[in-house]
Amino acid sequence: MAEVLVLVDHVDGEVKKVTYELLTAARAIGEPSAVVVGAPGTAAKVNQALAGYGAAKVYVAESENAANQLVTPEVDVLAALVGQASPAAVLVAATPKGKEVAGRLAIRTGSGLLVDAVDVAADASVTQSIFGGAFTVKAKAGTGVPVISVRPGGVEAVAAEGAATEQALEVPATDAAKVVTITSREPLKGGDRPELTEASIVVSGGRGVGSAESFEVVEKLADTLGAAVGASRAAVDSGYYPHQFQVGQTGKTVSPQLYIALGISGAIQHRAGMQTSKTIIAVNKDTEAPIFEIADFGVVGDLFKVAPQLTDEVAKRK
Ligand code: FAD
């Protein structure tokens, strides 16, 4: 069966959910081989989890440099593997880092690049969301080993048994002057909430929330649902919520099971980051708000009345 390389997305050995989605998508094409790039000891932490989603093989590239350099080790390792293993495709997460890896890898290997896939077919063709989400197209790489970035939440992760046989790899030494080195890491503010791109429920607030203080209404509903908090660009630009929580074309792309939009009009640039959510609920006092065009459930009303009622009702049913 054809081998499909999957770059494991992890933070210090904690596997991100999107990795399981990538392994699931890879199984549509062939046999997934996970590629772990990180500090010594990373593979030992992640191996069992990867086996649970059908990884037949785990290529292990561990070194201190691999943990402290941005992007270059992943590209070097994947490029070497593309040469050695002749895989049917390479899958990476369509995160800021994953997209950077995918672009560089495609150039390095002379391969076609397919970005923002929301589905992958047996012939390594993909369904993509393009032009800020304005179109959904099917596409196939015309040259080389297809490099595919898959949108987090685009494919549902399904467990499957895999042997996860480890195979050690050298991390190629790169000239230190040519790489970007991480000098420190700070966890982002977000408290105990799930990470925005990983969450199965996202509650977002827009300009309609009106102030930074009023975002408490959004946070309370999110916390009752165990959800992440998002924000529109207007809310971010107005200083209501930090930029790292912005959803949309110039923010993060999310595709949760449930997306709740509070006081968000539904501009095309916001939709680009959330319209592939499985179920969308919109609360807006304007019946004509464009968000209602894509909402599965729409509530015309004041978010300051609707959201607290919803919070109380969810809390009662817990
Ligand atoms: P508004 O459009 O002002 O809508 C506020 C909504 O709240 C209105 O529909 C109103 O009826 C409703 N409302 C007000 N009060 C209440 C209340 N009490 N109860 C219920 N409803 C209420 N936007 C993004 O979100 N993400 C992006 O990444 C992004 N990238 C962009 C990139 C470019 C190049 C450009 C040009 C724009 C981008 N934008 C982005 C901005 C986008 O065009 C919109 O301006 C923005 O999404 C609007 O945010 P909003 O819906 O919160 O605000």
Model confidence over 148-157: pLDDT tens digits? 999 888 898 9
Residue 190 has a pLDDT of 63
DSSP, collapsed to helix, strand or coil, labels residue 80 as helix
How far apart are the C-alpha atoms of 56 and 162, rounded to whole Å? 5
Residue 290 has a pLDDT of 97
> pTM for the complete prediction?
0.84
Residue 173 has a pLDDT of 77
Return the residue whose CA atom lies nearest to atom 13 of ligand 1.
208
Residue 238 has a pLDDT of 98
Kindly state the percentage of the chain with pLDDT values over 90: 80
Atom of ligand 1 nearest to the CA of 249: 28
Q: Is the pLDDT of residue 187 over 80?
A: no
Looking at residues 217-232, what average pLDDT do you find?
A: 97
97 Cα: distance to centroid of ligand 1 (angstroms):
27
With the most atoms of ligand 1 within 8 angstroms of its CB, the residue from 244, 265, 294 to mutate is 265
Atom of ligand 1 nearest to the CA of 250: 28
Kindly state the percentage of the chain with pLDDT values over 70: 99
Sheet with 113-120: strands ordered across: 135-139, 126-130, 113-120, 147-150, 89-93, 3-7, 31-38, 57-62, 165-168
Return the residue whose CA atom lies nearest to atom 3 of ligand 1.
207
Quick one: which of 308, 288, 311 has its CA closest to 298? 288
- pLDDT tens sequence across 74-118: 999 999 999 999 999 999 999 989 999 999 999 999 999 999 899
